[in-house]
Structure 1
C-alpha cells in the first residue's frame, strides 16, 4: 500500500440505473448510461476507456447501456492515414479557400453538415467537431483546385461530342470527313481536320459511279489505325528521343491527373492580395486528463487542447480535442453562427484528420481519429459514417468492425453485436475482482484488502459492475474512490 500520487487516475463510480432525457429522440427517461466522475485521469487510461465505449463530457465520463438505451451510441473512429476526401468534403475545402482568397462565397449554410445545425444533449456530449493546425499559428492558403484538369476534360468531352455529330452527318451523306488532325487519309497530305460540304447529286438515288458510303464507325477505326502506324514509324526512326518524350509525357499526365489530397487544400499558398487571413492557436485547457510528454510522442505532448480559429483577428470558433496515445479524439466545437456558411463543422473535422496524420509522423502509434458516437437510429447523427474508412466498436467484444459491415445490421436492429464470431468474448473482461485498485483514506490498496477493512453493507456488486465496464487493465491502474 502507498499514498496516492498524481500519476494515477482517480474516479468515483455512480452506476446508472435511472434513465434521463435523450437529446436525440426526446424520450424523457429513455437515455440510460453508466457514469463516473474523473478527478484526474491519465491519457492511457482514457484511451483504454474509449476503446471500451466510454466518452467524457468535461470531467464526467459515461458509457451508454447499449442494449437498453433508447438510442444506442456506437464509438466510431476514422482511419486517418487512409482517409479519402469525398466530393462534398472537397467542396467545403474549396469554399473556405475561395472565401479566404476572394471573399465572395455565397453565405448559405450547407445542408450536408448536420453537425453544425444539430446540438446534442449536454450530457451526451460530443455535439460537434473542431479543428487544428500543425503549428500554433498558420495561414490557410488557396489553391487552383483542379481547374486545369476540369478544362481539359471538358475539351475532350466536347471533341468527342463533335466527332459523334460529324459521324452522324457523314452517315446521312451531307458531310464528308477527309482527314483527321495528325492522321492523313491515303493520298492526302498531313493537315488539320477539314470538313467538306458535298455538292448535291443530280437525279435520284445514289451515284453508282462512286464507291458506297462507309459507316462512321469504320472511318474512325481506320483513322485510329493510321495514326498508330504513323506513331510506330516515328518511334522506329528516333527510338531514344521518342522514348524520353513519351516518358516525360506520361509522368506529366500522371501528376496532373492525380486527385488533390486534403493537405493540398488545407496547406496551399495564398496570393499576396488575399481578402482574409485565417489563423489557428492551440493551448492546453482544463480537463481531467493529465498532460504528458513522451520520447516517441507528439511535440505538443498528450492531453486536452483548445483550438481557436481566428479570422482577420476575430475569433470565430473554438473546439477541444484530446490527444491520446493512439488517436486524436474530437470533443466538441462551438462557433460564431455568422460564419456557419463556411461549414465549420465539416471543415474543422477535415483539418483534424490532417492534424492526426501530422502527429503520426512523430508518434507512429497515433493514427486514428475518434469522432465520438455514431447513432444510426438518429438520422441527423449518421453524418459521421461519411468519413471513410471508419470502424464501429462492437458493444459486446470491443473489437473494431468496418462500418460497411455494420450498417446492414443496424438497418434491422438499433442494437447490434458486430462481431459475428459467436464464440468471441470480451478479452479485457474482469477476471480477478480482488485486484481492483481502490483509494480509501488517501491510501491506495487492492479491493481484497479494502473489503476486509470495510464496515457496513457490502459494496461488492457495485465494484463488480464498475470493474466489468472499465475492464481488468484499467481497474488495476485506476483508483476507485471509496469513502
Structure 2
C-alpha cells in the first residue's frame, strides 16, 4: 500500500568533513562525526538510530566516527527496572527530602565541583546531566592497624597488668549449649522489618505516579553467546530501599517547601510549555552563564529554541503506549511556584532518552543533576506500567577518556553499545577494555557483525522532486550515479531497516 510523504521520516545526510574542536579534550580539529538534518522523524526511527550510536541536538542528528575521533563516545543505557540507588544517590535523595521538610541546604556534593562542562561544543552539546564522577580513586585500605592476634595479645597484657586476667579468660570461654533452635525464626533488624512493611504498602496501594516496578527476571534479548547475561550485582539485594520509596518520602502537608514536577510537551508546543517559556529561557541563561561561563550575547532566544525546543520527533499516541505519548518533552521542577530545573527528554518506544538538563545555580548544593537523573529513572519505571516495551533509561554518551563523563557508568545495571556489532554489553565487561584503549570493540565474538548491515541499495528510499522512490528507480529515471558512494555510506550508518523506512533527501 502506498504511503504519503508525510508518513516518512525525512533527512539530509552530511558526509564526514574536516574535524572540529573537541569539547572534552579541547584539541582543535580532532572531533570527527557524521551528521544528518532531520526535517521530521518518527519515534520508532529515532529509537533504531540511537541503538546504532546516533544522538540528536535539536534537529541535528550526529554519530561520532568512533575509531578516528579523539574522544570516542559510547551510547550507554541503564536498566531502569533493576536500578537500585547506591550510597551517593541515597545521600542526594535524603538531602532533597531534608531541604523540602526543613528548608535546610547543607553543604556537600555539588554538580559544579566535578562537572565543569563549559568546554562543550556549541553546535553539538552532548551534556545530559551534570553529575559527579562517583568513583573515588583516593579510597584505599587503612594502614597501621594491628593484626587480630596482636590486638588480642595487647589487650590481654593490659588487663593482666590491672589484675583482671581471670575475668578476661572467663569472658573468652563460651558456655556449652545446644545451638540455635531450628523451630524459631531468624532474628531480623527492626529497620529491615520497617522496610519490608513499607515495600508491601507501596506494592498494594501506592499513589499514582509512584508505582513500584516488579523485578525483571528475564535475560536481555540482546545478549549474545559471546557475552552471556549475568546477574547484575545491584539486582541481588532485595532488602535495599527502592528509588520510589525515597521519592515518596519527600514533601508533605507540613513541609517547608513544595516541589512540583510537570512533564510538558515541547514539540509541538503544548499550552503548559508556552505558559512557562520565558521562565524557562531565563533559567537557561542563568545556568549557562554561571556553570558554562557563556556570554549573554550567545544566549539568544533563537539559540535556546533551536537547541532545546526544536525537535524532529512527531507527536505520536498508541493504544499500548504511555499516556503522555511519544516525542519530545520538558520535565519541569517547580519549587514553591518558581522554576527550579528543567530536564529535556525524548520518550521513545523502548526507552526514555535524556537530552539536556539545566537548573538554578543558587541551588547547586542540592546536586540537582544527580537528583533529576534519579527522577527520570523513576519516570521510566512508571511508564513501563503503561508501555511494557519501555525498559531502559538512555543517559547519552559515555566518554571514558574524559573523567568528568565517567559518572554515567554508576547508574547500574548498565550496558554500552559495541561500536562495531551494535550489540549491548554490560558495562562491567567494557571498562577494563577502555582502561587499555580509548576505542574498543566490546563484543568478544569477532565473527559477530552488524545484523542490520545493508546488502543492497535497491530498497533504500530517497526523496526527489517531492516524490518518494527506491534508490534504484531514482538512478534509472534520472541517471544519477555520482552520489552512490554517499548513499551507500548513509545506509551503512543508519542500517537496512531505517534506510528502507526513512526518506533520504536528494536535491
The corresponding residue for 1:50 is 50
> Which residue among 420, 434, 439 is the counterpart of 1:410?
434
Name the TM-score, length of structure 2 as normaliser.
0.73
Task: Determine if the alignment matches structure 1 residue 388 to structure 2 residue 369.
Answer: no
Q: Paired residue for 2:316?
A: 292
What aligned pairs does 1:406-445 form with structure 2 within 5 A after superposition? 406-445=430-469
Does residue 172 of structure 1 match 2:196?
A: no
CA contact (8 A) 1:128 1:334 kept: no
**Cα–Cα, structure 1 residues 98 and 254, in superposed 2: closer, same or farther, change >3 Å?**
closer
Q: Give the corresponding residue for 1:18.
A: 18
What is the CA–CA distance in structure 2 between the aligned matches of 1:174 and 1:461, rounded to whole Å? 91
1:270, distance to aligned residue in structure 2 (A): 3.0
- Aligned to 2:501, which of 469, 477, 482? 477
- CA distance in 2 between counterparts of 1:5 and 1:459 reads 22
Q: Does 1:401 align with 2:425?
A: yes
| Partner SS state of residue 495, structure 2 | helix
Structure-to-structure mapping, 1:301-380, within 5 angstroms: 301-380=325-404
Distance 2:82 2:427 in 1: 14
Classify the secondary structure of the residue corresponding to 1:338. Answer: helix
Return 258-267 or 392-401, whichever deviates more. 258-267
Candidates 220, 245, 257, aligned match of 1:276: 257
Residue of structure 2 equivalent to 1:102:
102
String of CA shifts for 1:39-78, please: whole Å, max 9, x gaps. 0101110000000000000000000000111111000011
- Unaligned 5+ residue runs, structure 1? 132-163, 177-212
Out of 171, 179, 187, the position equivalent to 1:219 is 171
CA positional deviation for 1:256: 3.8
- Deviation per residue, 1:317-360 (Å, 9 max, x gap): 11211111111000001111111111111000011111111111
* Aligned twin of 1:263: 244
Q: Distance in 2 between matches of 1:116 and 1:256?
A: 40
Contact 1:170/1:216, CA 8 A, preserved across alignment: no
Output aligned runs, 1:126-137, within 5 Å: 126-129=126-129
CA RMSD of aligned residues (A): 2.8
Secondary structure of the residue aligned to 1:307 is strand
Aligned residues of 1:76 and 1:372 also touching (Cα < 8 A): yes
Residue pairs, 1:30-41, within 5 angstroms = 30-41=30-41
Is the alpha carbon distance of 1:105 and 1:269 closer, same or farther for their aligned partners in structure 2, counting shifts above 3 Å?
A: closer
Corresponding residue number in structure 1 for 2:471? 447
Are the equivalent residues in 2 in contact too, given 1:2–1:444 (CA < 8 A)? Answer: no
Q: What is the CA–CA distance in structure 2 between the aligned matches of 1:26 and 1:252, rounded to whole Å?
A: 53
Pick which of 119-128 and 95-104 moved more: 119-128
Task: Give the number of aligned pairs.
Answer: 401
CA 475–221 in structure 1, closer or farther in 2 if over 3 Å, else same? farther
- What SS does the aligned partner of 1:433 have? coil
Q: Which moved more, 1:59-68 or 1:108-117?
A: 108-117
Q: Deviations over 1:395-416 (max 9, x none)?
A: 0000011111111111111111
Aligned counterparts of 1:266 and 1:466: Cα–Cα separation in 2? 44
Counterpart contact for 1:435–1:447, Cα < 8 Å: yes
- Provide the C-alpha distance between the structure 1 equivalents of 2:399 and 2:250, rounded to a whole number of angstroms: 38
